[in-house]
Amino acid sequence: MMKWLFGMCCLVVLNVVMPVYADGTGWVLFDKVQGSVRQHNFDVSYVVLKGGQAETYRWLHGRDGEADIEHLIPMFAEGVDIVRRNDRVYYLLAERPSLITRSERIKELPALLFEDPTKIRKLYDAVAGSSSMIDGRSAQLLRLSAIDETRYHYWLWVDVETGFPLRIDTLAEQDQSRQNRALETWQVTHLRITPEMPGSLAQLLTIELPDTSSAETTASASPQQHELNWLPAGFEIIPEPLHVPQLTPEVLSYWLLSDGLHQVSVFVQRSHQLPTQAYRDGAVTIFVQSDAQRDITVIGPINVDVAQRLAAAVR
Amino acid sequence: MLSEKQEWLSQAADNKPVTPEQLSALLTQAELQQTVQRYQLTGAIMRNEADSVLPVDFSDKFASLLEQEPTYQLQTQRSLLQKMKMGVRQAANAEWFKPAAHGAIAASVALVAVLGVQQYQQPLEADLSMPSPVLQTRPVAGFATPVSLSQTSVDSRFEAQEQQAMQEQQRRLQALLQAHRQQVRITEAQPTAAPTAEQEPREYK
């Protein structure tokens, strides 16, 4: 009888402790992933699969003492180079003016690899999963399950040896019993981690890049003509002054929302009496709702229901 | 003697070499020829070639058929092509032919051109008239990135007059998508922090 009771107690304790333990292991692994992309010198090629379309990038990173440099080359867009030197990001475009922003990361790279883990912990549970082989390397699965079910989930496959992310799937839903279909897959096709900074980065570190001091601001703030009276859980409006994109037809109101990891745009324009539509570009939903007075377009990595509710919240 | 005769005849029927004397005997004696013919027929039947073997009296029958065939009197006639050539040759010497020939050549060139243009235009028109669920990327801001937008829910109103409007809307959506991407690029991911002057987009010329 005592043995039986002891066994039951052990089972109960294990059931309580295991998820906590798994969660802790998951976040440790996640920290290892973030540390890997920040600390290592590497030359990586990766592909982003969106439905039937693939975008290929080359991504180089180097660190030498205080100097931190990153170079992203979209292979599908000729004449585009994105360089980050410390907290400055340069979009160097052939025969067009360069765009210079201030950021600790290149926005074209997966945000969850760089964002503050404390923010991500508020939105996700991290659970370490089973091991498998990705591109001939031993990889461990790390599931970031959204606490709010309307948010997308992320499954990461992490290189066991280096902690480098080998694959990231964005999922609308995750069900253990079914084959989950990724909305978007980010996958490394070539990985080379070196003790020294790649040679081309050492050169980029020293060359003179466009200076922001001589730049001029081109956009201007416009008053909002509408109100947005609902936000999805965890999202906040990026406060004014905000630059309303100069588009045709004119944008009457514009909001940019962020939960620290994802950004969503809400545009209000004059009505063109078009049917309500939803499109998808990988994990990004584009939802258009039209009535007699205005067209509301919601763009961001959110599901269609949330986009629809956001559009309905414009007054 | 009989067996010897049959032996070399059998060999002859199997395409084995024969002596000149045997050959001349075979050519002169009808009895020997019939024997060889029988041997060959037997061999053909054994090799399942009976269908391909002509009947013994094939040549006689064919000769008699030829005799019965009526005799045709063929007359020398110019073919249609020759007639046309002659006509053109005569016409080429006439004064009226040269401008007419130039006109005909010009007309045929024009016809080919019109046909060619129609053929090239058909697929283009087909592309334009089809409502495409995939947005084509245009570099509106920053740089162009290909998009693979698949339609998930659309009102089922695809009237012909609406297709033009649909294309216009797709162009607008592309512009909005690029504007969204540009906003994400230039904005710090701090939802509560007010953007500083350095977070504003700057263009370097």
Q: Best interface-test mutation with A: which of B180, B188, B192, B198 has the largest number of A CBs within 10 A?
A: B180
Which residues in chain B are contacts of A107 at CB distance < 8 A?
Answer: 184-185
Over residues B54-83, mean pLDDT: 65
Which residues in chain A are contacts of B185 at CB distance < 8 A?
Answer: 89, 91, 99, 101, 107
Closest CA to A305 of B156, B128, B152: B152
pLDDT reading at B196 higher than 50: no
pLDDT attached to residue B151: 53
pLDDT reading at A174 higher than 70: yes
For the record, the structure tokens of A126 come out as 């991290």
Mean pLDDT comparison of A45-49, A130-134, A203-207, B112-116, highest-scoring range: A45-49
Cβ density class A131-158: b for 16+ within 10 Å, e for less: eeebeebebbbbbbbbeeeebbbbbbbb
> Could you give the residue ranges of the DSSP H alpha helices within chain B?
2-13, 20-28, 30-46, 58-68, 80-92, 97-129, 160-186
Give the lowest-confidence range in B4-8, B99-103, B127-131.
B127-131
CB distance A281 to B148 below 8 Å: yes
pLDDT attached to residue B99: 56
- Distance of alpha carbon B43 from its chain centroid, rounded? 46
CB distance A138 to A131 below 8 Å: yes
Q: Best interface-test mutation with B: which of A81, A255, A281 has the largest number of B CBs within 10 A?
A: A281
- Per DSSP, the residues of A15-46 read HHHHHHHHHHHHHHHHHHHHHHHHH-EEEEEE
**Candidate CATH numbers 2.40.50.100, 2.50.20.10, 3.30.1490.190, 2.40.30.10; the one for domain A17-213:** 2.50.20.10
- With an 8 Å Cβ cutoff, are A243 and B186 in contact? yes
User: A178 falls in which pLDDT band (50, 70, 90)?
Assistant: low
pLDDT attached to residue B46: 74
User: B144 falls in which pLDDT band (50, 70, 90)?
Assistant: very low
pLDDT reading at B192 higher than 90: no
For the record, the structure tokens of B18 come out as 């024969």
CB contact residues (below 8 A), chain A span 256-275, against chain B: 256-261, 263, 265, 267, 269, 272, 274-275
For the record, the structure tokens of A39 come out as 């600390």
**Domain residue ranges of chain A, discontinuous segments joined by +:** 17-213, 236-312
Share of chain A above pLDDT 90, in %: 46
**Domain residue ranges of chain B, discontinuous segments joined by +:** 2-68, 131-188
- A41 strand-pairing partners: A194
Nearest CB neighbour to B149, from listed A216, A237, A279: A279
- A128 strand-pairing partners: A142
Which residues in chain B are contacts of A275 at CB distance < 8 A?
Answer: 154-155, 157
Tell me the pLDDT of chain B averaged across its residues. 60
User: A20 falls in which pLDDT band (50, 70, 90)?
Assistant: very low
CA max distance for chain B: 128
CATH classification (class only), A236-312: alpha beta
User: Is the CB of B165 inside 8 Å of chain A's CB atoms?
Assistant: yes
pLDDT attached to residue A218: 46
Share of chain A above pLDDT 70, in %: 85
Higher-confidence position of B2 and A90: A90
Over residues A13-42, mean pLDDT: 77
- With an 8 Å Cβ cutoff, are A235 and B191 in contact? yes
CB contact residues (below 8 A), chain B span 92-151, against chain A: 133, 135, 141-151
Nearest-5° Cα angle at B124, B122 to B128: 120
Over residues A255-276, mean pLDDT: 87
- With an 8 Å Cβ cutoff, are A281 and B148 in contact? yes
User: Is the CB of B154 inside 8 Å of chain A's CB atoms?
Assistant: yes
Mean pLDDT comparison of A54-58, B86-90, B200-204, highest-scoring range: A54-58
- With an 8 Å Cβ cutoff, are A277 and B175 in contact? no
Q: Which residues contact B120 (CB under 8 A, 6 or more apart)?
A: none
Q: Could you give the C-alpha distances from A289 to A246, A267, A300, A315, in angstroms and in order?
A: 20, 10, 15, 13
User: B25 falls in which pLDDT band (50, 70, 90)?
Assistant: confident
- With an 8 Å Cβ cutoff, are B165 and A297 in contact? no
Higher-confidence position of B124 and B57: B57
Residues in chain A: 315
Can you give the C-alpha Rg of chain B in angstroms?
45
User: Is the CB of A24 inside 8 Å of chain B's CB atoms?
Assistant: no
Prior bond of A241 cis (ω within 30°): yes
